Amino acid sequence: MTWEERAKNVEERLKIYQNAKCVVTIRLHATLPCLAMGVPVLWVLKSPNWGRFNPYRKWVRVVSPNDIIKNNHDFDFVDPSPNSGDHLKTRKKMIKRIKKFIKENKDKNTIEDIKKTNFTEEERKEFQFNLMKTALDKWLRPSMDMVNEIENLKSE
């Protein structure tokens, strides 16, 4: 798929979200755009205890797949209430930081002009190794736990 085709697909998906009365999704990449556009969203989190998603939990309504199946939630699909707005403080901070970055770098033409640090080849490789190790330790094991939990739910 070409970059242009991907961009078109993203635009089409965003239009669907934007015009929805509400969205129920298991995907963070659907949850956050809905939140940004003010579309009521119910996030069905396959592994509710998975720490990776902690920063976003307080911003939206979150339920487990079992809660959906058992109708154990207070989300009104017919007349959904707006999202809480708890994300707006973070949004405001991000906009401020981005504007500051743009202002500080408005006269720079390339990424090389913007880079704030230079690493030797050895330092770069050590950084990449440590980053990969941390990512595997932090995300791979919980991901496998999530896969196992999903398999257990399927077999019930």
Over residues 10-19, the pLDDT tens digits come to 999 999 999 9
The reported pTM is 0.65
User: What's the whole-number mean pLDDT along residues 106-135?
Assistant: 81
Over residues 86-95, the pLDDT tens digits come to 999 999 999 9
User: What's the whole-number mean pLDDT along residues 94-98?
Assistant: 94
Q: 3-state class of 44 per DSSP? A: strand
pLDDT of residue 88: 94
Pairwise CA distance, residues 84 & 62, whole Å? 12
By percentage, how much of the chain surpasses pLDDT 90?
A: 53
Over residues 28-42, the pLDDT tens digits come to 999 999 999 999 999
Pairwise CA distance, residues 100 & 104, whole Å? 6
